[in-house]
Amino acid sequence: MKYDFDKIIPRRDTNSYKWDSMEDADLLPMWVADMDFRTAPVIIHALQQRVEHGIFGYTRVPNAYYDAVTDWFERRHGWKIRKEWIIYTSGVVPAVSAVIKALTVPGDKVLVQTPVYNCFFSSIRNNGCEPVSNPLLYINGTYIVDYKDLERKAADPKVKVLLLCNPHNPVGRVWKREELEFIGKICIQNGVTVLSDEIHCELVYPGYVYMPFASLSEKFLRNSVTCLSPSKAFNIAGLQIANIVAADEEMYKRIDKAININEVCDVNPFGVIATIAAYNEGEDWLTQLLDYLQLNYQCMKDFCAEHLPDFPIAKLEGAYLVWMDCRVLNKPSEELEHLLAKKAKLWLNAGIMYGKEGEGFMRWNIACPRSLLLEGLKRFKNFIHNL
């Protein structure tokens, strides 16, 4: 393998949110969604060249940035995005918040498909809106959409937006075309706009295909807004860069206004440079990363089958976040998170933070060298055996 994903790169004392948020030096963090791998060398090289210049004033986003984004999505996903549909901003969470501000008024409702990314709830509530859950159905180790429940809740005239997660965090689904088409038709019939968070779109494993929601039809394109970023796939979240894609001219204007009201209309030069390098030159690195992550998932599956048969993990179709069913312990997931950190020196995410449907589950981040993954699994196994 050309790139060494087995190498352990110390991250403590680098002001890492993942590694330095607790002082315990023995704690193994497998929680927040960033990777313990160095980003693609082409990105590092491009950033080094920019640093050499030594002046870091306000940045103008060049045409090369838009070309990199549009070429990437057309080449990899068959989606022709126009430059005039793109609004850049500092991250997908600020993007989601600004779009909700643009498309709702306080008191409106926003549909979410739980268990789902915890920041969705804060983005909704911070705009004075009410989150409404369309719980996913957990069947045979995977999740499916409850369309009857979705139809019933989308029919509420107070529901203005469906906040879609594609691929889905934390349950690891990569939604199929027919699933997205069902969702899209229900939303169009009820006048609900689809806001699709597609930040994990490049992290998809063989046998599954990421379908950009907006690419499925002209109607879907005009009734949706998509949030994108290279940050998860290339491990550059700290560079603060994302894109909003809105083809409808009126929605675009409202979102652009909301971006400026929220003061997230400026980006830094490093995010721009990194995005251009990632999309123009980073494909080879990404391919090998996906191979490594898939082997990590297989390693975890094998370990759990042998040592933790009472703790099934959901089928992982995309992203690097594994969803483990710990309900056999009959413990609240927040309590389990605390006990694991204290007694096993292992930090996982409690499922309850993703909605009440996540109670009893834990989320693992497996984007790390395999030796660290195995260490985390051994700590979990020993913790269970000592209960």
Per-residue model confidence (pLDDT) at position 243: 98
Whether residue 15 is predicted with pLDDT greater than 80 in this model: the reply is yes
φ and ψ of 318, to 5 deg? -155, 165
Cβ neighbours around 302 below 10 Å, total: 11
Region 253-260 average pLDDT: 98
Structure tokens at 256: 């652009």
Per-residue model confidence (pLDDT) at position 373: 98
- Separation between Cα atoms, residue 314 and residue 10, nearest integer Å: 30
φ and ψ of 65, to 5 deg? -65, -50
Rounded mean pLDDT of the chain? 98
- Separation between Cα atoms, residue 196 and residue 225, nearest integer Å: 6
Segment 1-14, tens digit of pLDDT:
799 999 999 999 99
Contacts of 77 (CB under 8 A, 6+ apart): 201, 210, 211, 212, 215
Instruction: Give the β-pairing of 224-228 and 349-350.
Output: unpaired
Per-residue model confidence (pLDDT) at position 27: 98
Q: What is the DSSP letter of 191?
A: T
Structure tokens at 192: 């609900």
Whole-model pTM: value is 0.97
Instruction: Classify residue 245 as exposed, middle or buried by CB count within 10 Å of its CB (0-12, 13-18, 19+).
Output: buried
Instruction: Give the β-pairing of 349-350 and 28-29.
Output: unpaired
Segment 60-93, tens digit of pLDDT:
999 999 999 999 999 999 999 999 999 999 999 9
Segment 154-185, tens digit of pLDDT:
999 999 999 999 999 999 999 999 999 999 99
Instruction: Pick left, alpha or beta for residue 350 (phi over 0 → left; psi -120 to 50 → alpha; otherwise beta).
Output: beta
- Separation between Cα atoms, residue 154 and residue 16, nearest integer Å: 40
- Separation between Cα atoms, residue 134 and residue 113, nearest integer Å: 5
